[in-house]
Structure 1
Amino acid sequence: MSNIEIRTIDVVQYIQPLREGGSMPAIVMADDGFQYVLKFRGAGHGKKMLVSELIGGELARAMGLKVPELVFMNLEDTFSKTEPDEEIQDLLKFSEGLNLGLHFLSGAITYDPLVSIADSMSASKVVLLDSMISNIDRTAKNTNLLNWHRELWLIDQGASFYFHHNWETWKSHLDRTFPLVKDHVLLERAEHLEEAVKEIKQVITIDKITEIVNTIPEEWLTDESEPLNASEMRAAYIQFLTTRLSKIDILAKEAEDAK
């Protein structure tokens, strides 16, 4: 029985696109009366990006980091039919079905490494999380972090697990570390890597990893053009993450050396 409950809700209104994101997410209203940032299955890296977002977000939450609530969002075909912008119309059309939403943090500001708030323990955990999930997109150029109510929030893990863009070679990533940690926006503030490792080992177990991976909707893993089926993909994500967990001391040392 999973302790992770992810609600499924319906999109009732498309409000506006967020054009600063490469995959052009949008602010939408759901049938529960709240606004969400909708990540589309029909965008650039499609369903793989949603999988990365879901696993990365729930791992972060399990580590005690702040992540907006993640929800599954149903998008009906009516939105593409009434949208005048052709680019958005296509995105909506290719995204019918189940997408991923993040609760919209109204009034949040983009993290700026020069002035924003990030306590050292949170920074250390984010650095280790991103080393574990091979997230290449948390740099000064694009932090994918927010400050909201004077706290640090993670909003985008979509560029993680880049091995899944080529399932033929995914096993070659098992032996790798994460040299790109040298570009991490929070590296300078990550002064508690050793303590963070201890905390992560306590909460991120093989059972927790399995539980998170099992929340991925089957339809996001089903693709006839891929060499692996859905259950083989789940097993691959679990194996990758448990291997990373077993190397977390090495990943912490790599981060420390990069500082």
Structure 2
Amino acid sequence: MNNLPQLRSINVTRYIAPLREGGSLPALSEADDDFKYVLKFKGAGHGVKALIAELLGGEIARTLGLRIPELVFAHLSEDFGRTEADEEIQDLLQGSQGLNLALHFLSGAINFDPVVTNVDAELASQIVWLDAFVTNVDRTFRNTNMMIWHKELWLIDHGASFYFHHSFSNWENHAKSPFALIKDHVLLPKASLLEETDRAFKTLLTQEKIKAIVNLIPEEWLHWEESDESPEAIKNVYFDFLTTRLAHSEIFIKEAQNARQKSI
């Protein structure tokens, strides 16, 4: 049985509403499979790089056994959004024709509140490890990017991960960085099992799995104006970044442990 990651593709049929204020303007939308999705646009904010981060971060989380809504490739047709009255949204839709990314909408989910919901040490350590690994600058008290759905914790929004790719230089240095921003992680005080998590996750994230996740990135998202690299070369950088970072995980584990000691 092939258990390597795969994504379905959908066609967006209806723009329902923007979900929150901000540069990315994700939207609640409906697709031709009659499900609702949170649609992330390649024409917004950091463009395709945010979608790549969302895709890689989300599928790594899923491979590690963490709960994340299903990710799908979402196609916007050329005529989509022409009747939208809001000019900003119309420009966003027109600039996002082609392949985008969407997450299955968790109807009835509520935002995670660390004061209300207790997270055990094992799960907290797993999420902190993930975010240190993919250099996710979100998941703070201000913006937890977690939801409670059917009494379970779900992770959303990994678009701020892999921040090295916005300059796409010195990836080796970034791969071995301690990631000092982990000090602001909302679950860090609970993450007392980072070494145990590290051992377990290293057995799950094989090179084959990492390669399969990276290979999910559509070629359409890999033609960057600021880079002369080919799509295949860009994929290789993501693969090398992840495998190098995994091989040197003790660097970001130590940083997280030291930050945790200062926070408790």
TM-score normalized by the length of structure 2: 0.94
Compute the displacement of 1:60 (Å).
0.3
2:215 is aligned to 214
Distance across 2 between alignment mates of 1:155 and 1:49: 13
Distance across 2 between alignment mates of 1:50 and 1:95: 12
Alignment check: 8 A CA contact 1:117 1:147 kept: no
2:80 is aligned to 79
2:69 is aligned to 68
Letter matched to residue 198 of structure 1: R
2:36 is aligned to 35
1:105 is aligned to 106
Compute the displacement of 1:225 (Å).
2.9
State percent identity of aligned pairs: 54
Give the superposed CA RMSD: 1.4
1:88 is aligned to 89
1:168-210 CA-partner distances (Å, limit 9, x unpaired): 4434323312111100011012122122112101101111111
Q: Secondary structure at the match of 1:52?
A: helix
Alignment check: 8 A CA contact 1:52 1:158 kept: yes
Distance across 1 between alignment mates of 2:171 and 2:160: 16
Residue 176 of structure 2 corresponds to residue 175 of structure 1: yes
1:134-175 CA-partner distances (Å, limit 9, x unpaired): 111111111111111111111110001111111244343233
Alignment check: 8 A CA contact 2:41 2:92 kept: yes
Q: Secondary structure at the match of 2:80?
A: helix
Q: Secondary structure at the match of 1:80?
A: coil
Alignment check: 8 A CA contact 2:177 2:252 kept: no
Gaps of 5+ in 1: none
Letter matched to residue 221 of structure 2: W
Q: Secondary structure at the match of 1:13?
A: strand
Distance across 1 between alignment mates of 2:148 and 2:26: 19
Alignment check: 8 A CA contact 1:2 1:211 kept: no
Q: Secondary structure at the match of 1:71?
A: strand
Q: Secondary structure at the match of 1:36?
A: strand
Distance across 1 between alignment mates of 2:140 and 2:38: 21
1:60-118 CA-partner distances (Å, limit 9, x unpaired): 00111000000000011222211000110000000000000000001111111111242
Distance across 1 between alignment mates of 2:89 and 2:232: 33
Compute the displacement of 1:11 (Å).
0.4
Structure-to-structure mapping, 1:2-41, within 5 angstroms: 3-41=4-42
Letter matched to residue 123 of structure 1: A
Gaps of 5+ in 2: none
Structure-to-structure mapping, 1:137-216, within 5 angstroms: 137-216=138-217
Q: Secondary structure at the match of 2:142?
A: coil
